[in-house]
Amino acid sequence: MPISHVSRSMIRLLVSLVTCISAALVVSIDCDAADQKPSRVVPTAKNVKYGSHKKELVNFWQCESEKPAGVLLDIHGGGWMGGKKAETMRPHQLKQGYHLASISYPLVNEGAVQPAMLHSALRAVQFLRFKAKEWNIDPKRIVVTGGSAGGCSSLLVALHEDVVNAKSSDPVERFSSRVSGAVVAGAQTTMNPFVIKKRIGEITFGNPMPYKPFGVETAQELMDNWDKHKELVLRCSPVSHLSKDDPPLHLFYNVNREFPTTKSSNGIHSPIFGEIMLEACREIGVECHLQYWEKDKPKPSMSRQEFINRLLLK
């Protein structure tokens, strides 16, 4: 199949693959809304609107805590084109000492383009702070997590400048969008097509995520009209926002490192994305942990769960 053409069936296949990537996270998210077995826990607050778009809904699971607790906010994957938020959790997930939340947001397959997904992710953090008293949230302890596109959105939130507007007529906008950190799986750290082609390989563009969310049909169209799209693409590239005052990051990749990539499913989740972020973080002194799938690769100094516990419990 030419890399310039992606069928609907291929997109559905890619979304299914991203679900598997997301499942690699420490907090496994159950995306089956129909599964209401006794072993599953439904949200304490379900489908609460956090914004004006019909897809801006959050599910919130409140843990038992006498004092305000931190919250792990999950942003689902799916290439910004598909996917859905978690509807249930396993009981043990609510015994970690922190709350859980999962959001839905506008999708490309439903007519949205960037920066809609970015704006939703930032607002979700502000909304959790807005609800802090009601939901017993410690506003200083919010960590974002997600797989693939959800991981990219999580990194964008973690590295983006604060969008707080203290004078806004919208009370949600008066709260900070900054977080304590991000823990992600299979996340893209840049959307720059020239960097992706050079560092990972052109076959990556068999997946439409690097171009469809920006309103074009092929990666070549995006590159041919780079001056028109550059500002938005870089705005949606996490590494572009990196600054020395940013919170710590933990990145995990569950595909082998290969260059050039031989499959788009490998390329779009390549650990080379993690290397790009690690290199940039080391240059300016931001804490960053990179975990490879291969056992013979360097290992991070702490596991994902240890990283989460440090930020949300200690």
The C-alpha R_g of the chain, in whole angstroms, comes to: 18
Domain limits, the chain: 8-312
Structure tokens at 109: 């397959």
Q: Which CATH architecture has domain 8-312?
A: 3-Layer(aba) Sandwich (3.40)
Cross-strand partners of 93: none
* Closest residue by Cα to residue 176 from 165, 185, 168, 184: 165
Q: What is the pTM of this model?
A: 0.89
User: What pLDDT is recorded for position 286?
Assistant: 98
Q: How far apart are CA 290 and CA 249, in angstroms?
A: 9
User: What pLDDT is recorded for position 38?
Assistant: 59
Backbone angles phi, psi at 285, to 5 degrees: 90, 30
- Point out the residues of the chain with pLDDT beneath 50: 1-24, 26-36
Q: How far apart are CA 303 and CA 163, in angstroms?
A: 30
User: What pLDDT is recorded for position 159?
Assistant: 98
The count of other CB atoms within 10 Å of the CB of residue 162 is: 12
Q: How far apart are CA 287 and CA 132, in angstroms?
A: 27
Structure tokens at 223: 């590159």
Helices (H), the chain: 8-23, 116-130, 132-135, 149-159, 193-199, 219-224, 226-235, 264-267, 271-284, 304-312
User: What pLDDT is recorded for position 314?
Assistant: 80
Yes or no: say if 226 and 289 are a contact pair by the CB < 8 Å rule.
no
One-letter identity of residue 119 = H
User: What pLDDT is recorded for position 37?
Assistant: 53
Backbone angles phi, psi at 89, to 5 degrees: -130, 160
Q: Hey, is 283 helix, strand or coil?
A: helix
One-letter identity of residue 250 = H
Q: How far apart are CA 99 and CA 82, in angstroms?
A: 25
User: What pLDDT is recorded for position 13?
Assistant: 45
Q: How far apart are CA 185 and CA 290, in angstroms?
A: 10
